[in-house]
Structure 1
Amino acid sequence: MPTEPERPVGKLFVLDTNVILHDYNCIQNFEENDVVIPITVLEELDRFKRGNQDINFQAREFLRRLDKLTGDILSDAGVALGPGMGAIRVVLTGPLDEALKVAFSQDTPDHRILNAGISLQKKEPHRSVILVSKDTNLRMKAKALGMPAQDYTSDKVESVDKLYSGKRTFEGIPSEVIDSFYTDGEAAREQLALVDHPLANENFVLRNGSKSALATYRSTSDSFARVEKLQAYQISPRNAEQAFALAALTNDDIKLVTLAGKAGTGKTLLALAAALECRSKYRQILLARPVVPLGNQDLGFLPGDSDAKLTPYMQPLFDNLTVIRHQFGEHDIGAKRIQDMLDSEKLMITPLAYIRGRSLQRVFFIVDEAQNLTPHEIKTIITRAGEGTKIVFTGDIHQIDQPYLDALSNGLSYLTSRMVGQSLYAHVTLEKGERSVLAEMASNLL
Structure 2
Amino acid sequence: MGRQKAVVKARREAKRVLRSDARSHRSREEESVSSLVHMSGLDAIGMARDVRDRQPIVARNDSQSLYLQAIKSKSLIFATGEAGCGKTWISAAKAAEALINKDIERIIVTRPVLQADEDLGFLPGDISEKFAPYFRPVYDVLVKRLGSSFMHYCLRPEIAKVEIAPFAYMRGRTFENAFVILDEAQNVTASQMKMFLTRLGENVTVIVNGDITQCDLPAGVKSGLADAMQRFSDDDVVSVIRFGAEDCVRSELCQRTLLAYQ
Query: Is the structural similarity TM-score above 0.5?
Result: yes
Letter in 1 for 2:84: G
Conserved 8 A contact 1:361-1:388: yes
Residue equivalent to 1:363: 178
Letter in 1 for 2:239: A
Structure 1 position 321 matched with structure 2 position 142: yes
CA deviations 1:37-75 (Å, max 9, x no partner) are xxxxxxxxxxxxxxxxxxxxxxxxxxxxxxxxxxxxxxx
* Cα separation, partners in 2 of 1:305 and 1:342, compared to 1, 3 Å: closer
SS of residue in 1 equivalent to 2:213: coil
**Structure 2 unaligned residues grouped into runs of 5+:** 1-53
Identity %: 35
Conserved 8 A contact 1:250-1:278: no
Residue equivalent to 1:73: none
* Cα separation, partners in 2 of 1:421 and 1:237, compared to 1, 3 Å: closer
Q: CA deviation at 1:246?
A: 0.7
Question: Partners in 2 of 1:317 and 1:233 — Cα distance?
Answer: 17
Q: CA deviation at 1:233?
A: 6.2
Structure 1 position 386 matched with structure 2 position 201: yes
Select the structure with the greater relative contact order (CA < 8 A; seq sep ≥ 6): 2
Question: Partners in 2 of 1:370 and 1:236 — Cα distance?
Answer: 24
Letter in 1 for 2:255: E
Q: 1:248 aligns with which of 70, 80, 84?
A: 70
Residue equivalent to 2:233: 420
Question: Partners in 1 of 2:57 and 2:234 — Cα distance?
Answer: 28
Question: Partners in 2 of 1:419 and 1:237 — Cα distance?
Answer: 24
Residue equivalent to 2:80: 260
TM-score, scaled to structure 2 = 0.69
Conserved 8 A contact 1:373-1:412: yes
Question: Partners in 2 of 1:404 and 1:345 — Cα distance?
Answer: 37
Q: Aligned residues, how many?
A: 203
Q: Equivalences for 1:74-85 in 2 at 5 Å?
A: none
Conserved 8 A contact 2:88-2:137: no
Q: 1:400 aligns with which of 199, 203, 215?
A: 215
Q: 2:96 aligns with which of 276, 289, 306?
A: 276
SS of residue in 1 equivalent to 2:139: helix
Q: CA deviation at 1:335?
A: 6.0
Letter in 1 for 2:86: G
Conserved 8 A contact 2:128-2:164: no
* Cα separation, partners in 2 of 1:405 and 1:270, compared to 1, 3 Å: farther
Conserved 8 A contact 2:128-2:165: no
SS of residue in 1 equivalent to 2:164: strand
Question: Partners in 2 of 1:443 and 1:398 — Cα distance?
Answer: 11
Q: CA deviation at 1:239?
A: 0.7
SS of residue in 2 equivalent to 1:278: helix
Residue equivalent to 1:376: 191
Q: 1:308 aligns with which of 129, 132, 144?
A: 129
